[in-house]
Amino acid sequence: MTQQITSTGLDEVVKKSPRKWVYLFNEGNATMRNLLGGKGAGVAEMTNAGLPVPPGFTITTEACNAYYDSNKQFPTGMWEQALAALKVVEQRTGKGFGDKNNPLLVSVRSGARFSMPGMMDTVLNLGINDETVQGLVALTGDERFAYDAYRRFIQMFSKIVLDTDPRDFEHVLDVYKERAHVATDAEIPAAELKQLVVEFKQIAERQSGEPFPTDVHEQLRKAIEAVFSSWNNKRARDYRNFNKIAHSLGTAVNVQTMVFGNMGSDSGTGVAFTRDPSTGEKELYGEYLLNAQGEDVVAGIRTPSKISRLKDDLPHVYEQFKEIAKRLEQHYRDMQDLEFTVEKGKLYMLQTRSAKRNAQAAVKVAVDMVAEGLISKEEAVKRVEPSQVYQLLLPRFDENEKKKASQEGRLLAKGLNASPGAAAGKAIFDADTAEELGKAGTSVVLVRPETSPDDVHGMLVARGILTARGGATSHAAVVARGLGLPCVAGTEGIRVSESEKLFRVVDSDFVLREGDDISIDGATGEVFAGIIKTVEPDFNKEVDLKTLLGWADKFRKLGVWANADYPRDAQRAVTYGAEGIGLCRTEHMFMEQERLPIVQKMILSTSQQERQAALDQLLPFQRSDFKGVFEAMVNPETGEGYPVVIRLIDPPLHEFLPSYEELLVEVTRLETEGGHDEELQEKRKLLEAVGSMREANPMLGLRGCRLGLLYPEINIMQTRAILEAVAELEQAGKKLHPKIMIPLVGHVNELKEVRRQLEAVAEDIDKQQGRTIEHKFGTMIELPRAALTADQIATVADFFSFGTNDLTQTTFGFSRDDAEAKFLLRYVEGLEEPGLKDKVKILPVNPFQTLDRDGVGQLIRMAAENGRKANPDIELGICGEHGGDPDSIELCQEIGLDYVSCSPFRVPVARIAAAQAALTHGEKDK
C-alpha cells in the first residue's frame, strides 16, 4: 500500500523560487510534452492512469534552457526543488537516498520533447556507494545482485558523466567472465563481482583523474548536469539538424526510483510494441531478458527471448502486461512502444510513446484502428506520412530471389537502411567513373567509405549508394533521400579500399571489385553480391492503402492529375487514382527511332515546302500518339474522358540533332581518313546547321512558344494531330476534354499570336468535321514575367499550369542542369565554417524539390490571384516535380489552385498529401 503523501514540501520550495522547475510524476500529464519531454509526459500520464510506475519527478526542459542561458549553472531554486521532490519520493517508497540501511536508488533519464533514440544518456542505479551497497545486500539477501548493480553504476556513470572510454570496462568484464568460466555477465559470482567493483573504480579514477564520487548527492548533481550537456553533444545536434528539430527545445531530466530486473530469474527487463511495427499485425511484438537490467536487451549482451515466451516464463506478468498494453493503446489511441521491468515477479512500466513503424505497418494500423472504432477516418489519413505511401510503391527486390541469394551466401553485410528502395548494378568506387558509366546508361551502385560533396556528381547518376561509414544523417544518407535514391549507409561489415577499388567483407574473405554486380536494399540495409531481380509493387493488391486513399479522396479539395507522355504512363496514372493528365510532353514522341530522321529533315529543311513535307509525314504518327493517350484516359464504363493537357513542342530544336562536338570529331576523322567524300559533305552540312543553331544559353533561347512563332508549321501540325485524334475518338462515341498548352510565354503578345494561329486550325477542323470540337488553349506560367503579368495573359488563356521547374530556375537564376551538383546541395546541406559548431545552411530545402514559399511561391500566389481576377473561369494547376511534393502541395492548397499534376508514381502521395493539406487547413480556418 502506498501511503497518501502530499507534495507540500515541494510546493513550499517552489514558492520561494522564480519558477517551478520540478514536477512529480503525479503532477504532470500527456499534454505537457513541451515542458516535461516525451518520456516525462508519458510516465506522468501512466502514473495518473493508475499503472505501476516507479515514483519519480521530472526537471523541466525550461530548466535545461535556463541552465544554458546562465552559463551552465542550475537555475535558482532548481536544485532545492529537486531535493524536495526527492524527499517526497523517499516518503512514497519508504527508502532513503544515501540511507545505508534502506537505500533509495534512482535512474537519471534524459527525455526531450521529440524522441531522439540513442542520442542522449541515462544513468541507472544512482545512489550506490560502498556503504549503501551493504544496505542493499542486507535488504535483499542477494550479494550478487547488489554488486551487479554497483558495477553497472560505475560503468554507466563513468561513460556518461565522467566521459571515459567504455571499452576498458567491457574488456575487464570479459576477463572476469572467462576467469569464472561463465558465458554471461548474469552468472558471475558475487565474490568476483565485489572484486570487479574495486577494479572498475580504479579504472574510473585513472581515466577521469579524480576520485569516484561516493557522495550520493554529488552523484545526482553530476548526472543531471551530464543529461543537460548531452542535449548539446555532437550526435544530438546532428540528429536535430537532420530531423529539423530546434536546438532551443532543451531536454527534461527524469529522476526515478530504480526497480531491478537483475534480481534473479523472476526478474527481467524488456521492450515491446503493441503491434508489429513492420507488418502492423495486431499482436505484441518485442523482446525481454530475465535477470537483466536496463538496455541489456537492445545492447545484444545476451540473446533476448521473444515477448510471447514470457507467457511461459512469468505467466501472470505476461497477462498483466498484455492488459496494460491494450489499455495504453486505447488511452493514446495509437500504437505504443513500451519499456518495462519486472522485479521479483512484479511488473513496472518505465516508458510509453507512440511507436515508430514502417510504411506497411503505418497504413495497416491506421486502417485497422478505424475498423476498431479507435480513431476516425480523418485521423487515419493524417497519421500516414506521404513518404510512407511513396515507399510502399517503390520497386522492391523479389522476396524469393532475395531468399535464394541469402541461401547462396550472397548476403554480404547489413548496414543502415538510410533511404528506401532497391538498387542493383555494377559496383563503382569513385564518382567520376560512376558519372561516366551512369551517363552512358549503365546501372551503377556507387560504393564509398563515406561520401562528401565531391561525390555528388556521381551520386546523381547512380542507382543507389552504399557507404561503409556514417549514420542516418551522414552526407550519403541526406543526399540520397533528397534524390529519392536507395542508400545503405554505415555498413560496418565491409572495408572499402578506394585505392584498390574494392571492398572486403569483414567476417569472410569475400572481395567485391569494381564492375562486379551488387544489389542493395535501402529499406532493410542488406547488401548482396550479384543482381537481384526487382519487382514493381502491385497497387491493386495493396488493399489497406487503397482504402486509406479512398478516404483521402473524400477530404481533399485539390484535384490530382499526372504527368504522362505515353499511354502506358497514363494507364498507370489512372490505376493510381489520377483524375487527368496535367502535362503530356510531345517531344519524346519526336525522339522515337522511326521518327527522328523525319524530325531532323524537318529541322534542316531550307524551304517552307520542304519543312511542310516532313511535317505531313509526322502528322499521322502524332495523331496516333495522342489517340493512345486520350484512350488511356477514358473511363471504359462511361466513355467520358478525363481532361488531358498536351504541351506543344518546347525544347530547342538542336536537341533533336547530333551534338556539335560529336559531329566535329566525326568530320575531322573523315577528313584525315579521306575517301568518304559523300558522307563528309553530308556531315559538314549538318555540322554547319548545328553550328548555326548553337546558343550560349539554350535554356533561355529559341524554345517554347518562341519556336512556334518562328516556325508556326510545327504547332499547327501538332494542333491538327490533337484535334483530329479527338474527332476520331468522338466518332467512336467517346467524350473528350483536350487542352492545348503553349509553353514559355513571357509576354501576352506571344500567346495572343500563337493562339490566333491555332484557333484558325481548330476552325478549319470544325469545318471539316461539320461540328465543333471542344478545345481549350492555355499556357505554362514558368517565367517571372509571365507571373508578373498574369492579369494580361489570363485574358487570352483558358488555363494556367505553373511550370515550377523552369519557374524556380528562372526566379533563382539557378541552372537546373548544373546547380545541384555544383553548389545547390551544399547550400542545403550547410557549409562548414571554422569556429562555428553547426554548418551554415544557406537554403532550408532544395527549391527544385520543395517550392520556395517566399519567392517562387509568392509569384504563383500573385499570378493565381491576378489571373482569376482577369478571368474568373481560368483553371489553375501546377505541373513539375513539385506537384508530388507534400510541402509544395500544402502551399498549392493554401494558394487555392484547382489541381496538382505529378509523375504517376507520386499520384498516391499527392492524394494523401492533398487530403492532409485540406484537413489542416480546415482546422486552421476554424
Site membership for ligand ADP, residue 417 (CB under 6 A):
no
Residue with cell 474568373: 872
The interaxial angle of helices 858-870 and 804-812, nearest 10 deg, is 120
| Residue nearer to Mg ion on the CB measure, 721 or 783 | 783
- Show the site string, 217-256: x = touches ligand ADP by CB under 6 A, - = not: ---------------------------------------x
Site membership for ligand ADP, residue 109 (CB under 6 A):
yes
**Nearest approach, Cβ of residue 295 and ligand ADP (Å):** 5
Site membership for ligand ADP, residue 55 (CB under 6 A):
no
Q: Rule CB under 6 A: choose which of 295, 514, 587, 753 binds ligand ADP.
A: 295
| Residue nearer to ligand ADP on the CB measure, 259 or 645 | 259
| Residue nearer to Mg ion on the CB measure, 569 or 806 | 806
- From the list Mg ion, ligand ADP, none, pick the one residue 451 interacts with, judged by a Cβ distance below 5 to 8 Å according to partner type: none
**Nearest approach, Cβ of residue 122 and ligand ADP (Å):** 4
- Show the site string, 253-272: x = touches ligand ADP by CB under 6 A, - = not: ---xxxx---------x---
Point out which residues pair with 878 in neighbouring strands: 802, 900
Q: Which stretch binds Mg ion (CB under 5 A): 68-76, 378-386, 552-560, 795-803?
A: 795-803
> By C-alpha distance, which of 349, 326, 352 is closest to 338?
352
- From the list Mg ion, ligand ADP, none, pick the one residue 586 interacts with, judged by a Cβ distance below 5 to 8 Å according to partner type: none
Q: Rule CB under 5 A: choose which of 107, 125, 132, 351 binds Mg ion.
A: 351
**Nearest approach, Cβ of residue 287 and ligand ADP (Å):** 12
- From the list ligand ADP, Mg ion, none, pick the one residue 107 interacts with, judged by a Cβ distance below 5 to 8 Å according to partner type: ligand ADP
Site membership for Mg ion, residue 143 (CB under 5 A):
no
Q: What is the DSSP letter of 839?
A: P
Q: Residue 11 carries which side chain, given as an amino acid letter?
A: D
CA pair distance 265, 314, nearest whole angstrom: 9
- From the list ligand ADP, Mg ion, none, pick the one residue 144 interacts with, judged by a Cβ distance below 5 to 8 Å according to partner type: none
Alpha helices in 732-833 (DSSP H): 748-769, 784-788, 790-794, 804-812, 819, 825-829
CA pair distance 635, 391, nearest whole angstrom: 28
CA pair distance 798, 790, nearest whole angstrom: 12
> By C-alpha distance, which of 54, 62, 60 is closest to 23?
60
Site membership for Mg ion, residue 415 (CB under 5 A):
no
- Find the largest Cα–Cα distance for the chain: 108
> By C-alpha distance, which of 5, 260, 215, 3 is closest to 107?
260
Q: Which stretch binds Mg ion (CB under 5 A): 78-86, 476-484, 557-565, 797-805?
A: 797-805
End-to-end CA distance of the chain: 48
**Number of chain residues interacting with ligand ADP (CB under 6 A):** 16
- From the list Mg ion, ligand ADP, none, pick the one residue 269 interacts with, judged by a Cβ distance below 5 to 8 Å according to partner type: ligand ADP
Rounding to the nearest 10 degrees, give the CA dihedral for residues 665, 667, 672, 674. Answer: 150
> By C-alpha distance, which of 336, 884, 292 is closest to 582?
884
- In Å, how far from its chain's centre is CA 618? 44
CA pair distance 121, 168, nearest whole angstrom: 19
CA pair distance 129, 216, nearest whole angstrom: 8
Show Cβ contacts of residue 485 under 8 Å, excluding neighbours closer than 6 positions.
419, 421, 423, 459, 462, 463, 464, 465, 522
| Residue nearer to Mg ion on the CB measure, 172 or 700 | 700
Q: Computed over its alpha carbons, how large is the radius of gyration of the chain?
A: 34
Q: How, if at all, do strands 517-521 and 268-273 pair?
A: unpaired
**DSSP notation for 7-55:** -HHHHHHHHTSSS--EEEGGG--GGGHHHHHHHHHHHHHHHHTT-----
Site membership for Mg ion, residue 77 (CB under 5 A):
no
Q: Is 818 exposed, middle or buried (0-12, 13-18, 19+ CB in 10 A)?
A: exposed
- From the list Mg ion, ligand ADP, none, pick the one residue 109 interacts with, judged by a Cβ distance below 5 to 8 Å according to partner type: ligand ADP
Q: Please provide residue 184's backbone torsions phi and psi, each rounded to the nearest 5 degrees.
A: -125, 160
Contact predicate 329/274, CB 8 Å? yes
**Nearest approach, Cβ of residue 184 and ligand ADP (Å):** 17
Q: Rule CB under 6 A: choose which of 135, 294, 746, 857 binds ligand ADP.
A: 294
For residue 801, give the C-alpha cell. 499550369
* Beta carbons within 10 angstroms of residue 196's beta carbon: 23
CA pair distance 709, 781, nearest whole angstrom: 18
Site membership for ligand ADP, residue 92 (CB under 6 A):
no
Rounding to the nearest 10 degrees, give the CA dihedral for residues 45, 46, 50, 51. Answer: 180
- Show the site string, 353-392: x = touches ligand ADP by CB under 6 A, - = not: ----------------------------------------
Site membership for Mg ion, residue 352 (CB under 5 A):
no
| Residue nearer to Mg ion on the CB measure, 120 or 614 | 120
| Residue nearer to ligand ADP on the CB measure, 151 or 463 | 151
| Residue nearer to ligand ADP on the CB measure, 116 or 476 | 116
Q: Rule CB under 6 A: choose which of 341, 433, 809, 846 binds ligand ADP.
A: 341
Point out which residues pair with 347 in neighbouring strands: 342
> By C-alpha distance, which of 64, 75, 37 is closest to 256?
37
Site membership for ligand ADP, residue 789 (CB under 6 A):
no
**Number of chain residues interacting with Mg ion (CB under 5 A):** 5
- From the list ligand ADP, Mg ion, none, pick the one residue 256 interacts with, judged by a Cβ distance below 5 to 8 Å according to partner type: ligand ADP
For Mg ion, which residue has the nearest CB?
806
| Residue nearer to Mg ion on the CB measure, 135 or 746 | 746
Q: Rule CB under 6 A: choose which of 80, 339, 521, 881 binds ligand ADP.
A: 339
For residue 421, give the C-alpha cell. 528502395
For residue 598, give the C-alpha cell. 523525319
| Residue nearer to ligand ADP on the CB measure, 117 or 770 | 117
**Nearest approach, Cβ of residue 834 and ligand ADP (Å):** 33
Rounding to the nearest 10 degrees, give the CA dihedral for residues 363, 369, 370, 374. Answer: -150
Q: What is the DSSP letter of 817?
A: T
**Nearest approach, Cβ of residue 806 and Mg ion (Å):** 4
| Residue nearer to Mg ion on the CB measure, 60 or 351 | 351
Binders in 800-839 for Mg ion, by CB under 5 A: 803, 806
**Nearest approach, Cβ of residue 868 and ligand ADP (Å):** 51
| Residue nearer to ligand ADP on the CB measure, 258 or 552 | 258
**Nearest approach, Cβ of residue 294 and ligand ADP (Å):** 4
Contact predicate 188/176, CB 8 Å? yes
Contact predicate 226/142, CB 8 Å? no
- From the list ligand ADP, Mg ion, none, pick the one residue 553 interacts with, judged by a Cβ distance below 5 to 8 Å according to partner type: none
Q: How many residues does the chain have?
A: 926
Catalytic sites, residue numbers: 475, 879
- From the list Mg ion, ligand ADP, none, pick the one residue 806 interacts with, judged by a Cβ distance below 5 to 8 Å according to partner type: Mg ion
**Nearest approach, Cβ of residue 271 and ligand ADP (Å):** 7
- From the list ligand ADP, Mg ion, none, pick the one residue 803 interacts with, judged by a Cβ distance below 5 to 8 Å according to partner type: Mg ion
Site membership for Mg ion, residue 269 (CB under 5 A):
no
| Residue nearer to ligand ADP on the CB measure, 107 or 451 | 107
Site membership for ligand ADP, residue 124 (CB under 6 A):
yes
Show Cβ contacts of residue 440 under 8 Å, excluding neighbours closer than 6 positions.
none
- From the list ligand ADP, Mg ion, none, pick the one residue 838 interacts with, judged by a Cβ distance below 5 to 8 Å according to partner type: none
Residues that bind ligand ADP (CB under 6 A): 54, 107, 109, 122, 124, 256-259, 269, 294-295, 339, 341, 350-351
Residues that bind Mg ion (CB under 5 A): 339, 351, 782, 803, 806
